[in-house]
Amino acid sequence: MTHPSTATDAAHGRTLRSGIGPMVAALGVVFGDIGTSPLYAFKECLSPDHGVPLDAAAVLGLLSLVVWGLLLVVTLKYVVFVLRADQDGEGGILALQGLARAALERGPSRAWQRHAVIGLGLVGAAMFYGDSLITPAISVLSAAEGLEIATPVFKPYIVPLTLGVLVALFVVQRKGTATVGRVFGPVMLVWFGVLAAAGLAHLVRNPQVLAALDPRWAIGFFATHRAQALGVLGAVFLAFTGGEALYADMGHFGAGPIRRAWVLLALPALVLNYFGQGALVLANPAAIDNPFFRMFPAWATVPMVALAACATVIASQAVISGAFSMTAHAMHMGYLPRMRVVQTSGQAIGQVYLPTVNWLLMAGVLLLVVAFRSSGALSAAYGIAVSVTMLTTTLLAGLVALRLWRWNAAAVVVGTTLFALVDLGFILANSLKIAEGGWITLAVAAAVMVVFTTWSKGRILSEKAAEAERFPLEPFIASLQAGMPHRVRGTAVFLSADADSVPHALLHNLKHNQVLHERVVVLQMQTLPVPRVDAERRLEARALDGGFWRVTARHGFMEAPHVPEFIELLAERQGLPIEAMATSYFVSRASQGTGLMAGLGRVRSTLYRSMQRNAGHASDYFGLPANRLIEIGRRAG
């Protein structure tokens, strides 16, 4: 959330997207989630609870489903197609929503289409929070369970150890990922190397599993096990739940390094490891209790648990950081109230820390571990949220390809339909697990959706009420000439939702203090539906009579709305003698009456007022110096 408008930042961006370094770094940030799926995915596919007899045909069928899922869902859909949908280099469901909205503006569109696009984006974003809860819990828990392979003595300590690792992970979030990020890539490079080596060792001993490359084994599995196929498909989905991260984290490295890292490193390692697990199970059916850790000799179990713990922490870190970025985007786009945002890196865009989100996530993750106590039980809650997000991505990307890129309509419709049917199949498969725990992620997503829509509609109602009370700025300035109040030295910056109207804080300041500063800046902050705003578009200023300035400052949803920086830019461009220590900032904080919020209903209006009372201070959100901030309250409605 920096301002990458300088030549230095541009050069830094080019460096991030070229060479082997970004490809290795992408292994840690982008592929942490999908890279740790071998810890639990194939084990869940082989679970006796599905009622599938363990024979060669079943193992080959499951392997074929996993491999072809990686090729079709992750490689073809995300790596080949979805990564093309970047909004100024950024990815993720909200960025895709912005592209889809731009696509509708390219031609005639109806209100329901615009509402559908907004709704799909919000649903996908809400589901992401459910994924952010499940991923740290199941990843770290599955790694800790490897200790049981070494000796059953460790079994009582699995859950406490998992809780300890997770608490430590959330506690260090305030330090940011800038420092530890440098080791993420190398650690995951070792991890993927071990995945490939272990899988290859068992594959060489039992190469018959390579027959699973024939998709007929997958088709045959469905034909043979019709009653169990849907339930098994939900377990197969665990092998590529991290596919959405390929797109969500595109802004960190660019599509090129992500594609190269996937094709050259991650995909081969994952395929080899799954083949190795299949070969092991065919040779030793007893290994189905934990085929991943059974691949290694006894002396390597503890070192592998340590390496797996590092890999799962990295995978969890990526998802947690994604929740921070998603929340920051939602705030800037008007779907969430202000929260404290801490920039943790001066170079890496998107490396932010939100204390409120961090502690809420920690509480939810710890509760999940205590409630489910094993990765097998927790897998029942996993998948439904990610599969819904994948469907929203498919639909929005299809709209972008059709209306924005102008691709062949027939090809887009066929491709979107096929991918959507696959996504719907996974949603249906994962819906079987709703009663066993999947309801948790749906409940989290529903709660987030209520918050999104309540805050968005509440803001709209508030702005309508404020609009009725506004006075045009220029006639107001003209009226002051007849009886100019006392002027004091310095600059006053009044934040306003409309730069053409008189800010309420200005009216109340005149009413109570009866003074005006020698320079008065009426500042409107605009968040544009793009990640970053070009330098030439960032500021629009016009000098008015009486020392007044009307200023519109624009920023993208990936940028921090740091008001003092815009004031410095104003002084630089207009040659104004604005001194930082002689500048005061005025904001208006409105509390809404019951009449104004009647459109929300009783429950949602109570929720809106609660969020409004607990919203972060303007000094934090807008980067205002607290010792030069004057906040004036008013009641509306």
β-strand 539-543 against 548-556: which pairing, if any?
antiparallel
In 333-354, alpha helices (H): none
Closest CA relative to residue 589, chosen from 636, 634, 524, 522: 634
Please tell me the distance from the alpha carbon of residue 508 to that of residue 487, in angstroms, as a whole number: 16
In the predicted structure, residue 26 carries a pLDDT above the cut 80: no
What single-letter amino acid sits at 392?
Answer: T
Domain ranges in the chain are 7-456, 470-636
Q: What is the pLDDT of residues 427-438, one digit of tens each?
A: 999 888 888 888
Q: In CATH, which superfamily holds the domain spanning 7-456? A: Amino acid/polyamine transporter I (1.20.1740.10)
234 within 8 A of 426, measured Cβ to Cβ:
yes
Confidence of residue 407 (pLDDT cuts 50, 70, 90): very high
Query: How high is the pLDDT of residue 253?
Result: 72
65 within 8 A of 233, measured Cβ to Cβ:
yes
Does residue 51 come out as left (phi exceeding 0), alpha (psi in the -120 to 50 range) or beta? left
Q: What is the pLDDT of residues 509-544, one digit of tens each?
A: 888 888 999 999 999 998 886 777 888 889 999 999
Q: What is the pLDDT of residues 164-193, one digit of tens each?
A: 999 988 888 877 655 555 667 788 899 999
Query: How high is the pLDDT of residue 83?
Result: 92
Q: What is the pLDDT of residues 500-510, one digit of tens each?
A: 888 888 988 88
Query: How high is the pLDDT of residue 27?
Result: 79
34 within 8 A of 245, measured Cβ to Cβ:
yes
Please tell me the distance from the alpha carbon of residue 355 to that of residue 59, in angstroms, as a whole number: 45
Using CA atoms, how far residue 527 sits from 3, 325, 533, 559, 561, in Å, is: 14, 15, 9, 9, 8
Read off the tokens for 319.
């998802």
Backbone angles phi, psi at 520, to 5 degrees: -120, 120
| The dihedral sign for the CA sequence 173, 174, 176, 179 | negative
Mean pLDDT of 350-360: 82
Query: How high is the pLDDT of residue 4?
Result: 36
- Half-sphere exposure of 211 toward its Cβ, with a 13 Å CA cutoff? 14
Mean pLDDT of 136-159: 84
146 within 8 A of 301, measured Cβ to Cβ:
yes
Q: What is the pLDDT of residues 114-147, one digit of tens each?
A: 899 999 999 998 988 888 888 888 888 888 888 8
Mean pLDDT of 5-9: 37
Beta-ladder partners of 590: 634
Using CA atoms, how far residue 236 sits from 70, 115, 149, 229, 357, in Å, is: 10, 33, 23, 10, 30
Confidence of residue 19 (pLDDT cuts 50, 70, 90): low
